Amino acid sequence: MPEFIGQLPKNEPAWNAISSVQSFQRYTQGIHFDCDHNSRLTLTVLSPNLIRVRFSPNGELTPRRSWAVNLPNAEWNIVDFNIQETNELITVETEKIKVCVQRHPCRIMCFDKSGNPFAHDTDLGIGWRKNQIINWKEITIEERFYGFGERSGLLNQRGKCLTNWTTDSLDYTMLTDEMYQAIPFFMSLRPNVGYGLFFNTTFWSQFDVGADQLNTLQLKTQDSQLDYYIIYGPEPATILETYTQLTGRMPLPPRWALGYHQCRWSYDSETEVRELVKQLRNRRIPCDVVHLDIDYMQGFRVFTWNKQRFPNPKKLIEDLKQQGIKVVTIIDPGVKFDPEADYQVCDEGLKNDYFIRRVDGQVFHGYVWPDRAVFPDFMRGKVREWWGNLQHYLTDVGVAGIWNDMNEPALNDRPFGDVGSSKITFPMDAPAGDEEDKTTWKETHNLYGMNMARACYEGLEKLRSQRSFVLTRSGFAGVQCYSAVWTGDNHSKWEYLEMSLPMLCNLGLSGVAFVGADIGGFTGDASPELFARWMQMGMLYPLMRGHSMIQTKRHEPWEFGQEVEDICRKYIELRYQLLPYFYTLFWQAADKGEPILRPLLYHYPNDSQTYELYDQVLIGSDLMAAPIYRPGVEKRMVYLPEGTWYDWWSRELLQGSQHILIDAPLAKMPLFIRAGAIIPLVSVMQYTEELPIDELRLLVAPGTGKFTLYEDDGNTFAYRDGMSSTTQYRVDLEGNQVVVEVGERKGKWIPIERKVIVEVIGFGEQEFIDDGSQRRLVYQ
Ligand code: MIG
């Protein structure tokens, strides 16, 4: 067992406290402070809004780890900063913020340029004891807290104690703490002030956000040093841009991955998969992807196929491709321990010593789906390379994406289902990582899932000439660089529908934009009403996947009667119409780290009405949805932020800065367009590549605004060599006229010849053949 997993015992020894600053020296990128007991504090200025704080009780800073997710200090441009010294304070000032270090007692205080304080240490400052370190900070009355990676419950996380320790949190509830993902990052917001904090520790860590003491934030870790980054905004968008500069951004996924995904545990034979696709196409339910869960394998052996049920996967996948369906297969990290059989994955791993060993040198075993299993050490480069290449067993037959499950890791000490079997993890003292940078799982546990996803992503990038789809259940800060994330085993209950939006929003505010929850709920049977409402909300999820557990009632859209099937079709179709809009949002995520699904506070950070608003969401900056998530409800309140809005369905004009009551019968999800919005739409297709896009429709809401449309081939890596294009559209009001300006298309990628129809709400349509040149359209 780990030394201090979970709450610390009450009778822990007292903390050693950082007391006074003795002296300090400036260096190119910051300042070193020598403190009492030989302890040392270092501030590094990486950007005018980004300061790294490190504290070491014994004065030594460990060198950078090979698996570190933060961009190295050396890769930041040297930034200007001033130092001022008084008897009490040493102040570091950049263009954006001031960080003051008080001498007695030593504590750190930050201020924006108007003098608003943030991220102040309390008088206790920093403390430490054996293998633990803590930092106490003040929380002001108005502050709210968001992000923290994957979190259940609603939006604002203040008042909770949030642990960063990846766990198979099946059956999670509103109150669950440890989740599949561990992302030690948050952002704090109050009117005019916003900052983010990335706690740079891979060890077990915890944020106590005013749970223990109402107005105190505690950062705790089992690391031997304190290492965190202060990221000043004040806008959430600035915080995220900087945070993702530090930890990375998502690569552009293939465009088909933005379509509808159909999944179940399991479509477990070729016949069943073909029948499913036949139903999808006959019923005209658009779909791009079918996922195969664990039963496609031979006895749950990863990288194999069950020959009885899938006699010719290559042929099957080829036939599905003809129908516009891509196949994604699940892979777990546990490799069946099968040395007697001729199972290559196990043999190669054993022969090359790729599996995790206990501290006594024995190969570590755990029990998962294939029964007794061994686990690759994904912290090692060679192992990742080997694993990455193993994906060829799947890509050779045409698989286009991989779904990484159980990688928290989830495993038991005895065969699944045995009496007394309990969840375990790798022994905390077992070695992990390469020889040059060896450690134990105490330090790398949180990184296991992300490094499995990384191995997969890097392997697929080598094996396929097109972009692939990667999905993972577990991850750490930076997981966005390799994979999309889904929120694991939710239930087919209204509470989980309600919780899904804030969960996905908090993931988005943690740098992970490509996220989704299982539509319909994984565990249990959805009612027709729940399913219809879930598909409406699911259409907003960046990853739109329906999934359900084995032995539950089937959850395909046609399983709930004609009315629900029609509702599902309507919302999946809407998703397909909005694809050019969504694709541009994915580009914004890849380019700037922006979330795709955004809580309202993201664009209205000074409007405190948005701070607790978890049941409305913005898709990009211009579309706002207010879904229904309770049974029997056919009306709801909607908050319209400042400005003017239009009802998506009736095109009615609505004044902002007010609450309205809106009708929402079962077939309707309230949806609004911001005045000044320009939303690109295409016609409905049964899959994203069904037809060439020879007609693009721009839906314009009168007002002032702009939108940059991003386009490329949607499939290959040519965009990295500049084969992409952007077009900027602007809308403005001039007297009684609405003027739409189409900018010149920039970039090397040229779309096929197409008609562009520009519809201004209330003013009618105009159209032109898109030759990439500038033009001005006037509406009156
Ligand atoms: O022990 O592969 O969260 O999506 O269907 C359960 C079977 C393992 C858990 C995943 C779920 C998946 C299921 N998996």
- The string of pLDDT tens digits covering residues 689-699 is 999 999 999 99
Q: Is 713 a catalytic residue?
A: no
Distance 525 CA to ligand 1 centre (A): 16
Distance 374 CA to ligand 1 centre (A): 19
CB of 613 within 8 A of CB of 620?
A: no
> How many Å apart are CA 282 and CA 264, to the nearest integer?
19
Ligand 1 atom with minimal separation from the 522 CA? 4
740: Cβ below 6 Å to ligand 1?
A: no
Query: For residue 39, which amino acid is it?
Result: S
Q: What is the reported pLDDT for 130?
A: 87
For residue 39, give the nearest of 17, 61, 56, 21 by alpha carbon.
56
**DSSP 3-state assignment of 108?**
strand
556: Cβ below 6 Å to ligand 1?
A: no
Query: For residue 195, which amino acid is it?
Result: Y
Q: What is the reported pLDDT for 1?
A: 30
Distance 628 CA to ligand 1 centre (A): 27
What tokens does 498 get?
């309600």
> How many Å apart are CA 405 and CA 263, to the nearest integer?
14
172: Cβ below 6 Å to ligand 1?
A: no
What tokens does 45 get?
């200025």
165: Cβ below 6 Å to ligand 1?
A: no
Distance 309 CA to ligand 1 centre (A): 20
Name the residue of 405, 485, 552 to mutate for ligand 1: max ligand atoms within 8 A of Cβ.
Answer: 405
488: Cβ below 6 Å to ligand 1?
A: yes
Write out 529-595 in H/E/C secondary structure. Answer: HHHHHHHHHHCCCCCEEECCCCCCCCCCHHHHCHHHHHHHHHHHHHHHHCHHHHHHHHHHHHHHCCC
DSSP string, 166-200: ----TT--TT--S-SEE--EEEEEETTEEEEEEE-
Strands 484-486 and 469-472, sheet pairing: parallel
Distance 405 CA to ligand 1 centre (A): 7
> How many Å apart are CA 307 and CA 323, to the nearest integer?
23
Q: What is the reported pLDDT for 2?
A: 37
Distance 519 CA to ligand 1 centre (A): 14
Query: For residue 13, which amino acid is it?
Result: P
Ligand 1 atom with minimal separation from the 518 CA? 4
Q: Sheet harboring 89-93: ordered strands across? A: 82-85, 89-93, 97-102, 107-112, 117-118
What torsion do the CA atoms of 94, 95, 96, 97 make, to the nearest 10 degrees? 30
CB of 185 within 8 A of CB of 511?
A: yes
Place of tokens 């321990």: 337
Of the residues 489, 594, 615, 770, which is catalytic?
489
Ligand 1 atom with minimal separation from the 332 CA? 2
Task: Give the Cβ contact number of residue 474 at 10 Å.
Answer: 32
Name the residue of 290, 294, 485 to mutate for ligand 1: max ligand atoms within 8 A of Cβ.
Answer: 294
Name the residue of 166, 265, 290, 491 to mutate for ligand 1: max ligand atoms within 8 A of Cβ.
Answer: 265
Ligand 1 atom with minimal separation from the 410 CA? 1
Ligand 1 atom with minimal separation from the 293 CA? 2
Q: What is the reported pLDDT for 18?
A: 82
Q: What is the reported pLDDT for 6?
A: 43
293: Cβ below 6 Å to ligand 1?
A: yes
> How many Å apart are CA 763 and CA 765, to the nearest integer?
7
Query: For residue 654, which amino acid is it?
Result: L
178: Cβ below 6 Å to ligand 1?
A: no
Stated length of the chain: 780
Ligand 1 atom with minimal separation from the 263 CA? 5
265: Cβ below 6 Å to ligand 1?
A: yes
Q: What is the reported pLDDT for 208?
A: 98
> How many Å apart are CA 42 and CA 53, to the nearest integer?
6
Ligand 1 atom with minimal separation from the 294 CA? 2
294: Cβ below 6 Å to ligand 1?
A: yes
332: Cβ below 6 Å to ligand 1?
A: no
Name the residue of 171, 368, 406 to mutate for ligand 1: max ligand atoms within 8 A of Cβ.
Answer: 406
> How many Å apart are CA 214 and CA 122, to the nearest integer?
13
> How many Å apart are CA 538 and CA 486, to the nearest integer?
12
Of the residues 295, 405, 594, 711, which is catalytic?
405
Distances (CA, A) of 46 to 75, 92, 187: 9, 12, 19
Of the residues 408, 443, 458, 556, which is catalytic?
408
Ligand 1 atom with minimal separation from the 265 CA? 5
Q: What is the reported pLDDT for 11?
A: 67
Distance 390 CA to ligand 1 centre (A): 21
709: Cβ below 6 Å to ligand 1?
A: no
- Residue nearest ligand 1's atom 6 by CA: 406
Distance 491 CA to ligand 1 centre (A): 13
Q: Is 556 a catalytic residue?
A: no
223: Cβ below 6 Å to ligand 1?
A: no
Please enumerate in sequence order all residues whose Cβ is within 8 A of that of 409, keeping only pairs 6 or more positions apart, or say none.
168, 333, 334, 366, 375, 425, 426, 448, 449, 474
Strands 326-331 and 371-374, sheet pairing: unpaired
What's 480's DSSP letter? Answer: G
53: Cβ below 6 Å to ligand 1?
A: no
> How many Å apart are CA 93 and CA 38, to the nearest integer?
26
477: Cβ below 6 Å to ligand 1?
A: no
What's 449's DSSP letter? Answer: H
489: Cβ below 6 Å to ligand 1?
A: yes
What tokens does 436 get?
């040059």
> How many Å apart are CA 555 and CA 547, to the nearest integer?
7
In the chain, which stretches have pLDDT less than 70? 1-11
- CB-hemisphere CA count at 13 Å for 162? 29
405: Cβ below 6 Å to ligand 1?
A: yes
> How many Å apart are CA 274 and CA 290, to the nearest integer?
10
112: Cβ below 6 Å to ligand 1?
A: no
Q: Is 36 a catalytic residue?
A: no
Distance 404 CA to ligand 1 centre (A): 10
Backbone φ, ψ for residue 445 (5° rounding): -45, -50
CB of 495 within 8 A of CB of 523?
A: no
